[in-house]
Structure 1
């Protein structure tokens, strides 16, 4: 148990530049404290002391602002950053090296007792602040959930989900530093992580402007051929810069 806690502390120090030393993590990081108390509650829960497990979970919520059901499963080196308002349901499973930020809910959408109702986060998942992951599906290894996203369907490994309801961004190669080590994406924010709907709208706007230019050329060619073409080319002319600025 103590070796596991040492791993958790080292992971927090590696992921949070504000963490200066182990003593500061132990005494001042509610995410670490909540995970320690969850281990106590889980010990009671699996041995049949259900009420005691729930009571320890309740005390942890009062002290840390983080609610973790004692029936949930949490892997090694899980970092709950800031953590206030985090809710993790009974059948949720969180893999190793996952990072969860404040206001996150891993919730269930089924009322069936004894069934798997909450999501599974595989290794290395990052869930941004305020995100809601709702349902008994899997978020693949290395996936990222953008802040305030509402995820109600599976997320492939390595993909990014953003928006409400969340849209899946095409998987991209992870960012690396000069030493070849994968960079940690705080809050799940990565470069070029625009909303996929916004990207599609930009493409549609550019396509419409290209069509407008082609129509203008055709109209000019028809006029040069001596064919009357009663088209006002200057009326309601599209400006891609102006419309794209409204979509951003």
Structure 2
């Protein structure tokens, strides 16, 4: 147990350059607190103590602003950065070395009691406010851009962005950190189109004035 806790703390230092001391990590990281409370809730859930598991999960949500259903399966070295607004549904499955940013959701799209939430493989990075819906699979080392809505499975080592999310490029370097600057900006593209139209109009006006 203590080895696992030590691993969790080391994961914070590896993922967040703002982390300074072990005491700070233990006391000031709600993402870490949510994961620890989820382990207790998940143990109780798997041992048929459903109400107690849900109560611990509810308490965790109140304390951390992170909602993880006690039935969700989560692997080692999982890290939630910033944390607020993260939601992980009952049948979600998360592999090892996964990183989720604030506001991201692993949600369902149906009322069925079977598998209805995403499966996230090892090494995946999910950007802030990204929404992944349904029993889809996000392949190893894939990256989901901030604000994206993912409705279909994503191949491994692929970056997806947009609403709905679409693949952008194969990930050349396997890395755990999501570099938002490397992702294409759809707003910037549209602005460039507007600028070009303005330039054309200005040229036409100049020609008429001459």
The TM-score by the shorter chain falls in which range? 0.7 to 0.9
Structure of larger gyration radius:
1
Give TM-score, length-normalised by structure 2. 0.87
Cα distance in 1 for partners of 2:163, 2:23 equals 39
In the alignment, the residues of structure 2 paired with residue 88 and residue 30 of structure 1 have an alpha-carbon distance, to the nearest angstrom, of: 15
Q: Which 4+ runs in 1 deviate beyond 4 A? A: 195-199
- The aligned length equals 199
Q: Measure how far apart 1:170 and its partner are.
A: 2.2
Aligned partners of 2:97 and 2:21: how far apart in 1?
19
- Quote the RMSD (CA, aligned, Å): 2.5
Alpha-carbon separation, structure 2, partners of 1:152 and 1:72: 19
- Report the alpha carbon displacement of residue 235 of structure 1 after superposing the two structures with TM: 6.5
Gaps of 5+ in 1: 175-181, 203-233, 237-248
Aligned to 1:62: 62
Residue pair 1:87, 1:107 contacting (<8 A) in 2 also: yes
Q: Do residues 53 (structure 1) and 45 (structure 2) align?
A: no
In structure 2, stretches of 5+ residues that fail to align are: 193-202, 206-210
Shift of 1:2: 2.0
SS in structure 1 opposite 2:170? coil
- Give the structure with the larger strand fraction: 2
Higher relative contact order (CA 8 A, sep 6+): 2
Q: What is the correspondence of 1:180-195 to structure 2 with a 5 Å cutoff?
A: 183-186=175-178, 188-189=179-180, 191=182, 193-195=183-185
Equivalent position of 1:75 in the other structure: 75
TM-score normalised by L of structure 1: 0.74
1:162–1:195 contact (8 Å) kept in structure 2: no
